[in-house]
Every structure is written in structure tokens, then in C-alpha cells.
Structure 1
């Protein structure tokens, strides 16, 4: 096979990865946007329906306020003290984002190391699985001993929880590269860096972003876990304080804010993935 034929084969194989979106008719995109909008509307209707059923159950059964309150009481608490919840929400968001970024960087690096080094994979992979089975609540006091009671310890707890999904998904994504493309790169004497950036990393991106969408929600939970253990601010602290005062309205209000934060961050990661992977954004 001549070099020109090899290059021609490469041009045939590679475009579906990088240029598939350009082949999507523009007239099909508004329909996809309408479908996405309808999906969002249906999700909102479902959430509102569940909240309505919850409020109806509270009105009908009329339980004591220290047992259960309705969503209206929680929303009323949000409107009465918006600054209180917003201030603490920003603390939790900062901790979660720091942990998420650290988890992504370390997880992708570790996943790539496991893929490219069988020796490291043999020794490190079982250890990672063993560490992941340890409840992160048990690790939180250790991070507090190492990093103190401030921002850093909560961010490290969030990173520890967000780290493992990125390791597994990165490893699986890099392992999914077709053998034919690897052989084509070898025949063309492509450098390791070019194989990683032009072929393998492109194929791993969908898996990495799938892990990232899981990790961002886990990072929010990790930040709250750290605030449970040793927090003086943040939504985890708000929940613990409300629990000590048997203030279920404040507790559920904090839950709602946490859910909103997790949803927004999830969709931001999803939107980023669609922008970086346009060939995965549309269906024919």
C-alpha cells in the first residue's frame, strides 16, 4: 500500500469523528431544538406535579411541623431569607466546582495512565477500587486533619468523590478506540502525542463527559458531606443547623437549593460536551 493510498484511507475513516455535524441538514436542527424544549417542559411539569402531590398530602394529613412540612413552607422560607440561602449556596458551589475540576484533571490523568501502562494498571486498579469502596464520610475527617476546617478540606472531599467516575470512564473511552485506526496511525508512523490528541482522546471524549456529568452531581454531595463534618457555612451547615433546631422548612429549602445547583451544573457540563462534541449532539 502506497503512502498516498494510506492517506486516502485516513481521510475516509477520520471525517465521521470530526466532521459528521456538517452533514446534518440545517432544517433538522430546529426540530431537535423543539424536541429538547418539549423535553424540558415535560420535566418541569413532572416536577411541579410531584410537588403538588406532596403539598396535597400535607394538607390532607396535616402532620406536625416537626414531622413533615409541604413545599410551600420551604419556598416561603426561601423568600423570607433569600440572602441567607444564596450566601451559603455560593460557598457550596465554590467547594463543589473546585473538587470537580480537581477530580476531572486527576481522574483523566489517572485513567490515561491505567490505559497506557499495563504495569501500573495491574498494581493501581485494585487499590483504586478498594479506596472507592470506603464511604467518603469516613474519609472526610482525615481531610479535615490534613487541610483544616476551611475551604480546602471540603473541596478535597468533593474531589475524592468525583474522581473515580472519571478514572473508569476515561479508561473505558481510551480502550474503545477501533483497532483499525490504531494500525493506521502506526503505519503512518504517527507520534504518541498525535495518536492521543487526534484519535484516542477524540474517541474517549463521550465517555469522559458521561463520567463528568456523574461527577458534578457527586461533587456537590461531597462538598455537603464535608460541611456536615466540619462546616460553619454552606448548605450542609444550613441543613445541620436546621436539623438541630427541628426546622424542617429550612431543611427542605436547603434541599431544593441543592437540587437546583446540581441540575444547573449538570446541564452546564452537558451543554459543554455538546459544544465540544458536535458529532454527538444531533440525531438524524
Structure 2
């Protein structure tokens, strides 16, 4: 509750500063509309905005699911299969180093202008932070726990799933929190490159027509989706690791 109040106070301060700039400088509406104008646009165009927001939300959720699953499986293979890290990790670093705008046109070319290319884009952006955080957590398992498992003559597979994985769940939670913030960016970038619907499409159309109030309204909806998704993932991570105390 305290964090929610802090976020609300920060947003209120931003809105007040925004309104003061509009009152004092009086910029043209197509350059900087006031917050009241943007709120009016949100109400007037709510069906159009929410319909496209629902499409983007589906892309975000699917990308988060598939990207997280791919990251988890990759981290498990890195820990369980000797030599897998030396082969796969450099490829992952190269993929992560490539600008997302350089990959997006190829994904649209390969998977089309529909849902698939946006989901793949979001999955790729989500994949690395999840895989990196979870693999690091698996590798940093407390040595005393590993020694205790060895005394019981547990198999490497049993040690992985009964000792390493539970110990690494807090690290996985951290990776998922980061992924929840990046997931909307992947979906919107895919829509910018090629799409006929979604919040990214709304932004492009509004920018081309100099409808800055609609552009701001779409940004507000996207930011709201991101914040809500971040809180949901945080709640899930806390439920999965009730023993982990965060500082």
C-alpha cells in the first residue's frame, strides 16, 4: 500500500508540473496537449483505445509466458548439461547485443504481420533476463546444501530439482520482474515495424496525423499495463518464494 501511495504521489506531481508547463508556455496542442485534454481523449476514444490495448495485452502475456518458459528451460540445461553453457551462452549474448529494431523487420518477414511476430519479439526480449537470472541463481546454490545432497547420494538430476531449483527461485523472481517491464516494449516495437492494430499501431497513426493527445492517451494505457503487470509478477514471485526476504 505504501508503494502504491508513493507511485500515486509521484504521478500526481508529474501531472501538476505538466499542467503548469501548458499554462505558462501555452504550446500548440499538437506539440504538447494538457493533461485534461488527454483525459478527455481517453474518455472519447475509449473503445478504440481499449480494443487495441487488449490486442497488445494478449501479445505481452503470450510473450511473457513463452519467453519465461524458454529462459527457464535454457537455464536448467546450462546447469544440468556440461558444455551446454559454452555452446549456447555466447549465442545468447550475441542475440541480446543485437538492437531489437534490427531484428523486428526480420521477424515480421518470417512470421507475418499478425500476432506471431509480436509474440516472438516480446519473447526474445524477455528470454535473456529470465535465463540469465535463473542460471546465475542455479550456479550460486549454497555449497553446504550441495554437500548435504551428496551425503545422501542424490543423483545430479535430483540435486538439480530438489536443491538447486528451490534455492534459485528468488533469482528467477528477479528475472521475471525485469521481464515484466520489458515485455510491453517488445510487443509495441513489433507493432511499430508492421501491424494494423495494437497500441503501437495507434501511436504510429496518431503521430502521423499529429494527434498528440491520442498518442499520450496510448502511452498512458501502455504505462498502466506495464505497472499492473509488474505488480502481478511481483505478487507471483513473492508467493513462489515466501521464505525469501527482500531488502
CA shift at 1:198, angstroms? Answer: 2.1
User: Are 1:43 and 2:43 an aligned pair?
Assistant: no
Q: Matched residues in 2 for 1:265 and 1:271: separation?
A: 10
CA shift at 1:120, angstroms? Answer: 1.6
Classify the secondary structure of the residue corresponding to 1:280. coil
User: Are 1:194 and 2:161 an aligned pair?
Assistant: no
CA shift at 1:274, angstroms? Answer: 1.1
User: Are 1:183 and 2:147 an aligned pair?
Assistant: yes
Q: Matched residues in 2 for 1:41 and 1:92: separation?
A: 27
Q: Which runs of structure 2 are paired with 1:204-215 in the superposition (5 Å)?
A: 204-215=168-179
Q: Which residue does the alignment assign to 1:237?
A: 201
Q: Which residue does the alignment assign to 1:93?
A: 57
Q: Matched residues in 2 for 1:156 and 1:282: separation?
A: 32
Q: Which residue does the alignment assign to 1:120?
A: 84
Does the aligned pair in 2 maintain the 1:274–1:281 contact within 8 Å?
Answer: no
Q: Which runs of structure 2 are paired with 1:1-284 in the superposition (5 Å)?
A: 37-280=1-244
Could you state the TM-score of these two structures normalised by the residue count of structure 2? 0.96
Moved more, 127-136 or 246-255: 127-136
Query: What is the alpha-carbon root mean square deviation over aligned residues?
Result: 1.4
- Runs of 4+ in structure 1 deviating by more than 4 angstroms, as ranges, are none
Could you state the TM-score of these two structures normalised by the residue count of structure 1? 0.84
What is the number of equivalent residue pairs in this alignment? 247
CA shift at 1:194, angstroms? Answer: 2.8
Higher alpha-carbon Rg: 1
CA shift at 1:281, angstroms? Answer: 5.5
CA shift at 1:229, angstroms? Answer: 0.7
